[in-house]
Amino acid sequence: MKALFATLFCFALGGCLGYQVGPVKPYYLRDVHTIAVPTFKNRTLVPRIEVLVTDTVIKQIQQDGTYQITSGDKADATLSGEVYRITRAPARSVRGNVLATTEFSLVLVVKYWLTGRDGKDLIPPNDVVGQTSFFVSSDVTSDERQALPLATEDLAGRLVTQVSEGW
């Protein structure tokens, strides 16, 4: 009976052999502990969106805790990016009038890459998408401007997940 119990106990503990406590970085980023995030470039016609995106990404990296944010010359890697597309598409129309829209879907696309201290790409250029929806009032432009931070938060969460977890 004791032998059976000992065998079951060993098998139960064997399931935890690969578990790690703390941040689980991708193997190719094992030496990266600090990241610099310069202001992203803006390839759209929306003014000052690059500052909003960069600030939100920095806050998300700090909240994640896998990497520390530091200045460019002290960092192990640099996360660069550019906002290159913001699109608004109708998601729901008025009942009885398909030409009038009550809800829009807002999509924000950023291209990013991570370079090491030596200038080599640690993560090649990749796209990440953030999206949200918003209802229309009398001023669609104002409504879209208010929805941009929500799409940016979604985008930053996805970007930081891709960098910190490797997928």
Do β-strands 77-94 and 41-42 pair in parallel, antiparallel, or remain unpaired?
parallel
Kindly list the domain boundaries of the chain, sorted by start residue. 24-165
pLDDT tens digits, 40-65: 999 999 999 999 999 999 999 999 98
Q: Identify the band that residue 72 occupies on the pLDDT scale cut at 50, 70 and 90.
A: confident
pTM surpassing 0.85? no
Nearest to 103 by CA among 62, 147, 68, 134: 134
Please give the angle made by the CA atoms of 32, 108 and 104, to the nearest 5 degrees.
Answer: 150
Three-state secondary structure along 35-57?
A: EECCCCEECCCCCCHHHHHHHHH
- The CATH number that domain 24-165 falls under is 3.30.160.150
